[in-house]
Structure 1
């Protein structure tokens, strides 16, 4: 079992949260703490980099969905996923959430698209 590792990097007004290891019912508390800290310090424009993710269970998925809804509906932000591989996060595809959540092949694509959205939001 691979321990959950979280780190973050800033890209303008967005934060990339790098997730590696296993994200499950036990380790999701670490994710919640980290997401809350990022939101408090930097705001709610977050990209979850799932490239290093080895496993995600449904409890972790519900946490991701909860933050996605919260950030997009009440806090004026967003939560996007980058680098999710079917073999490690198939729960996204099985539940149909892969078609609903903003997903990108990699962090570079997510940053490029969300930069355009952030600029459009700032112009409004």
Structure 2
């Protein structure tokens, strides 16, 4: 099992949260803590970089969807996904959320695509 690793970088008023390893029912608490801290310190414009993701389960997906709804409800925030691959995050496609969540091929595309929200 690959341990979850989280890091972040700032791009203007947006934060890119880089996620590596496995995101599951056990490690999702780390993600929640990191997201809450990011929102509190830097605001509600977040891109999740899933390039280094090895696995995502439905509990982690539920967390992502919950934050997506929360951040977009206020009108000034958003949560976008970058670099999600079918082999590691297939739950996004199986549930149909890959068609609903804002998804980009990579972080550069996500930064460009969310620029109008900045």
What TM-score, normalized to structure 1?
0.93
Residue 101 (str. 1) matches residue 104 (str. 2): no
Instruction: Kindly report the root-mean-square deviation, in angstroms, between the aligned alpha carbons of the 2 structures.
Output: 0.7
Give the length in aligned residue pairs: 118
What secondary structure does 2:89 align onto?
Answer: helix
Counterparts of 1:18 and 1:78, CA distance in 2? 16
Name the counterpart of 2:73: 73
Name the counterpart of 1:3: 3
Name the counterpart of 1:60: 60
The question of whether the paired residues in 2 share the 8 Å contact of 1:44 and 1:75 is answered with no
Can you give the 5+ residue segments of structure 1 that lack an aligned partner in the other structure? 119-124
Counterparts of 1:96 and 1:88, CA distance in 2? 15
Can you give the 5+ residue segments of structure 2 that lack an aligned partner in the other structure? none
Deviations 1:16-61 (A, max 9, x none): 0000000000000000000000000000000000000000000000
